[in-house]
Amino acid sequence: MNANSDKTATTRPVGKRDRNIRRRRIAAQQTAAQPPEAADERRWPTLVAILAVLAVGALFLIYQNARSNQDTAADGGSGYRHVAGNPGIGAPAPDFTLTSHTGDTVSLSDYRGRSVLLYFQEGLMCKPCWDQITDLENNQAALKAAGIDAVVSISHDPVAQQARKAADQKVSTPMLADPTQQVIHAYDAHKYGMMREQTAGHSFVLVGPDGTISWRADYGGAPNYTMFVPTNKLLADLATERKP
């Protein structure tokens, strides 16, 4: 009797106590789960401050880069900002042999004894580039008067696609295919486009009769990314900057 009484007396209070303890533990766990969120909230101002500092630093670098480009760029006689990349004026023009949109094989050496203007451009999807070719063809007399005997275009596009585009645009300028971009890279023309050096930009290289570069203008680079220059403006720069 006494044993049963003791057992009953001890078992019932212990059950209540366990439930209370369990509740307190659950509450404590829920409370303990909250501080990381509060800590995250406290960290937000610090993260925002760090991001702000990084953003300011990035803007500063962009500003410095733009200033650097402006300091080394020239307006020439056209007012269109451009630079002269490498190989530049006075350097031997890297030779090449490429296939034209007509299927003919064209080498730079074919133009020895004449002045040829190499036009490096971004390709089929660049409407201003094709407008540039059309404008050059419409001003052939002015080009001849400036001492330019021939113009060729160079891009990364395959021959067949360039042939179709040339037919659609009704242009006769030789469109040379450089799918591996070996020639484009030899002239560093990939550094002046909008495609992050994935294609050529908007560069003109005039190779003289002796095979040396007598004029160069890269219009496609940062920060302006000019993709079309009227021929008369192009010739104004040529007249100002061409090596005698």
Per the structure block, which two tokens stand in for 31?
């409370």
Strand partners, 85: none
Catalytic pick among 84, 108, 129, 235: 129
- Checking 170-174 for CB contacts under 8 A at 24+ apart, the result is 171/130, 171/133, 171/134, 171/137, 172/137, 173/133, 173/136, 173/137, 174/100, 174/101, 174/102, 174/104, 174/106
The CA-to-CA distance between both ends of the chain, in Å, stands at: 126
Residue 159: what are its φ and ψ, rounded to 5°?
-60, -50
Helix (H) or strand (E) holding 103: none
> Rounded distance, CA 244 to CA 241, Å?
9
Which of 189, 234, 243, 242 shows the shortest CA–CA distance to 77? Answer: 234
Bridge-based pairing state of the strands 116-120 and 150-155:
parallel
Helix H or strand E segment including 45: helix 35-72
Point out which residues pair with 215 in neighbouring strands: 206
Q: Is 129 a catalytic residue?
A: yes
Catalytic residues: 129
